Amino acid sequence: MASVQAACSNLFHTNHVVDDDLKQRRRSQILLNTFRNEFSAPINRNKERESRVLVLYTGGTIGMMKNDMNAYVPIPDAFEKYIRRIPYMHDEEYVASKLSSKDKSKFLVLPEVADKARVLYHIKEYSTLLDSCNMAMESWIRIALDIQKSYESYDGFVILHGTDTLAYTASALSFMFENLGKTVIVTGSQIPVFESRSDGRDNILGALVLAGNYVIPEVTVFFRNNLFRGNRTMKKSTDAFLAFDSPNMSPIAKIGINIEVDPQLIFRPHTIDKFRVQSTLNPNVGLLRLFPNITSQAVRAFLQPPIEGVVLQTYGAGNVPSNREDLMEELKAATRRGVLIVNCTQCIEGSVSANYETGMVLEQAGVIPGMDMTPEAALTKLSYVLSKTEWDAAVKCEMMQKNLRGELSAEQSHSRKRSMLTNIDSITNEEKAKLESIMLPALINYYVANGNIEELEALKEMGADFSSENSDFRTPLHVACSEGNLQVVEFLLLNGASVHKKDRYDFTPLMDAIRSDHHDVIEVLVKCGAHLSLTQPKNIGEELCRAAAKDKLERLQSYQVAGADLSQTDFNDNTALHIAALHGNKRIVSYLLDMQANKTAKNILGETPADLARRMNHPDVLSLLT
| pLDDT on residue 187 | 98
% of the chain residues with pLDDT over 90: 74
What residues have CB less than 8 Å from 607, skipping those under 6 apart?
578, 615
Provide the 8-state DSSP code for 43: P
Distance CA 511, CA 562 (A): 9
- Angle of helix 537-549 relative to helix 21-39, nearest 10 degrees? 120
pLDDT higher than 60, residue 16 = no
Residues known to be catalytic: 61
| pLDDT on residue 115 | 64
Residue 425's pLDDT band (cuts 50, 70, 90): low
Phi-psi region of 58 (alpha: psi -120 to 50; beta: other; left: phi over 0): alpha
Among residues 524, 500, 495, the alpha carbon closest in space to that of 267 is found at 495
Provide the 8-state DSSP code for 190: S
pLDDT higher than 60, residue 25 = no
Upper half-sphere CA count for residue 561 (Cβ side, 13 Å)? 22
Pick from 52-66, 222-236, 334-348, 457-471: least confident: 457-471
Which value, in Å, is the radius of gyration of the alpha carbons in the chain?
29
Pick from 16-30, 117-131, 337-351, 454-468: least confident: 16-30
Provide the 8-state DSSP code for 195: S
Cα of 356 vs its chain's centroid, Å: 43
With H, G, I as helix, E, B as strand and everything else as coil, classify residue 345.
strand
Distance CA 335, CA 508 (A): 49
| pLDDT on residue 356 | 65
Total-model pTM: 0.89
Residue pair 231/409 in contact by the 8 Å Cβ criterion: no
Upper half-sphere CA count for residue 137 (Cβ side, 13 Å)? 17
Pick from 67-81, 328-342, 446-460, 611-625: least confident: 67-81
Say how many Å lie between the first and final Cα of the chain, rounded. Answer: 30
* Average pLDDT rounded to a whole number, residues 285-298: 96
Distance CA 454, CA 458 (A): 7
pLDDT higher than 60, residue 422 = no
User: pLDDT per residue over 222-256, tens digit each?
Assistant: 999 999 999 999 999 999 999 999 999 999 999 99
Within 10 angstroms of residue 476's Cβ, the number of other Cβ atoms is: 30
Residue 45's pLDDT band (cuts 50, 70, 90): very low
Q: Of the segments 56-70, 169-183, 254-268, which one has the largest average pLDDT value? A: 169-183
pLDDT higher than 90, residue 578 = yes
Among residues 134, 144, 148, the alpha carbon closest in space to that of 175 is found at 144
pLDDT higher than 60, residue 192 = yes
Residue ranges with strand state E in 42-149 = 50-57, 64-66, 72-74, 108-109, 118-125
Residue pair 172/204 in contact by the 8 Å Cβ criterion: no
User: pLDDT per residue over 138-183, tens digit each?
Assistant: 999 999 999 999 999 999 999 999 999 999 999 999 999 999 999 9
Query: What is the pLDDT of the chain when averaged over all its residues?
Result: 88
| pLDDT on residue 40 | 46
The residues facing 55 across adjacent strands are 123, 158
* Average pLDDT rounded to a whole number, residues 32-53: 59
Residue pair 584/556 in contact by the 8 Å Cβ criterion: no
The residues facing 157 across adjacent strands are 54, 184
User: pLDDT per residue over 390-420, tens digit each?
Assistant: 999 999 999 999 999 999 986 444 444 455 5
pLDDT higher than 90, residue 353 = no
Pick from 74-88, 230-244, 429-443, 535-549: least confident: 429-443
Q: How far is CA 568 from CA 340, 391, 462, 538, 619, in A?
A: 52, 42, 45, 7, 25
